[in-house]
Amino acid sequence: MNYPNGKKGSLTQPSQSRPSGAGNHAFSNRGMTLEEDINETNRFYLDTDKAIIHKKPTPVQIVKVNYPKRSAAVITEAYFKQASTTDYNGVYRSKHIDFEAKETKNKTLFPLANIHNHQVAHMRSVVEHGGICFLLIRFTLYQETYFLPAEKLFQHWDDKLKGGRKSISYDQICQEGHQIPFQYQARIDYLAIIDKLYF
Amino acid sequence: MNYPNGKKGSLTQPSQSRPSGAGNHAFSNRGMTLEEDINETNRFYLDTDKAIIHKKPTPVQIVKVNYPKRSAAVITEAYFKQASTTDYNGVYRSKHIDFEAKETKNKTLFPLANIHNHQVAHMRSVVEHGGICFLLIRFTLYQETYFLPAEKLFQHWDDKLKGGRKSISYDQICQEGHQIPFQYQARIDYLAIIDKLYF
């Protein structure tokens, strides 16, 4: 895949847009999901020895396993479990890094229903214990990715618990978050935002 | 389960011994595996807000999933993948914590074949980036658990690569490692060792 270096993704860059499920499938092989972008970015960080950050495996409850002769064990019954933490963590500049990544097809807001209560509890604990914690939010229709510090998420979460809005508006995310430009290498270079905000 | 507080496990404490697969199954419900002990310890750390440390889910390659009507998705074909990192990580006193846990039934040595090359590479990276990294090793027959700093492991690993021993002797682990006494709560309180060694 060949993306222009340092180019910002936007609706005027159809080759980078992937409105997944939104009707336009013409470019679906050219765009990547947020997860794919993060995995590539983390791989780049690893290869360049910049940070050690991995996605956690999908939690699975294994029920039945077959052990055929002369071949690998096959799991024949298993179920998806809900994650009790965030999806990504690791270490960067001696700091513990911990984050969750979410895409939304919504144009005007990010629904808080995308995040689970126990994940927010986990993120609060990480922050209290001195880790750097945040959310990466992608508006897929705009192909824009934002870094939202966990502290900002907590404010909206607490508002919701007090009967407030069940979402964060796109405008608020633009104001309170930090847009991460697309790049060829380190496709979404969130460590650059961490350098600015925390060091 | 009711274990004496602060009591060290040994062969003279049969109620704590679990020679898994070694013929004596009489006490198998009373003893716990190292993984169970660590999970309980981490749960205690979480409950008392001491540290945020989790076991990573077992990495599984999912091949087939059925989506029955009105019930949860069932994974019907999946395979175990080799872990590329260590099993446990998290944050404590603002430090990134990263470790692997291994049991051995051997009486005189810990075979280095228990650890994979890419895990050692991961552990080196974590140390270089300022994380605290170590191995928890249990000699199941003695019911003794040791904290071995990753730096000590690296020395033995490098010796092995140069044609040296393919194991660490029990005596070396006693000298270079730190025994973790069994306790009722925080069954294997490895953070106490971290407090001594790193702060």
pLDDT at B191: 98
User: pLDDT at position B9, please?
Assistant: 38
Q: What is the pLDDT of residue B82?
A: 87
CA-based nearest residue in chain B for residue A96: B96
Class of domain A14-56+84-198: alpha beta
pLDDT score recorded for residue A146: 98
Cα–Cα distance, A109 to A112 (Å, whole number): 9
Q: What confidence tens digit (pLDDT) does each residue in B43-78 have?
A: 999 999 999 999 999 999 999 999 999 889 999 999
* pLDDT the model gives residue A83: 84
C-beta atoms of B129 and A60 within 8 A: no
Nearest CA in chain B to A54: B85
What pLDDT shows up at residue B26? 34
Contact A91 B96 (CB under 8 A): yes
pLDDT given at position B16: 39
Which residues in chain A show pLDDT less than 50?
1-29
Radius of gyration of chain A (CA): 18
Amino acid A84: pLDDT: 84
**Full 3-state SS string of chain B:** CCCCCCCCCCCCCHHHCCCCCCCCCCCCCCCCCHHHHHHHHHHHHHHCCCCEEEECCCCEEEEEEECCCCCCCEEEEEEECCCCCCCEEEEECCEEEEEEEEEECCCCEEEHHHCCHHHHHHHHHHHHCCCEEEEEEEECCCCEEEEEEHHHHHHHHHHHHCCCCCEEEHHHHHHHCEECCECCCCCECHHHHHHHHHC
Residue A185: what pLDDT?
A: 85
Q: What is the ipTM of this complex?
A: 0.82
B residues 65..84 contacting A (CB < 8 A): 72-81, 84
DSSP lists the bridge partners of residue B182 as B188
SS3 A42: helix
pLDDT at B194: 98
State the alpha helices, DSSP H only, in chain A: 34-47, 117-128, 150-161, 170-176, 190-198
Is the separation of the CB atoms in B102 and B118 below 8 Å? no
Q: Among partner residues B58, B90, B97, which is closest to A57 by beta-carbon distance?
A: B58
Give chain B positions within 8 Å (CB) of A58. Answer: 57, 60, 62
Residue B43 — φ and ψ, nearest 5°?
-60, -45
- The domain spans of chain A are 14-56+84-198
* pLDDT < 50 regions, chain B: 1-29
Angstrom distance (rounded) from CA B116 to CA B83: 9
CATH number of B19-57+83-198, picked from 3.40.1350.10, 2.60.34.10, 3.20.20.105, 3.40.1080.10: 3.40.1350.10
- For residues A120 and A157, the answer to whether their CB atoms sit within 8 Å is yes
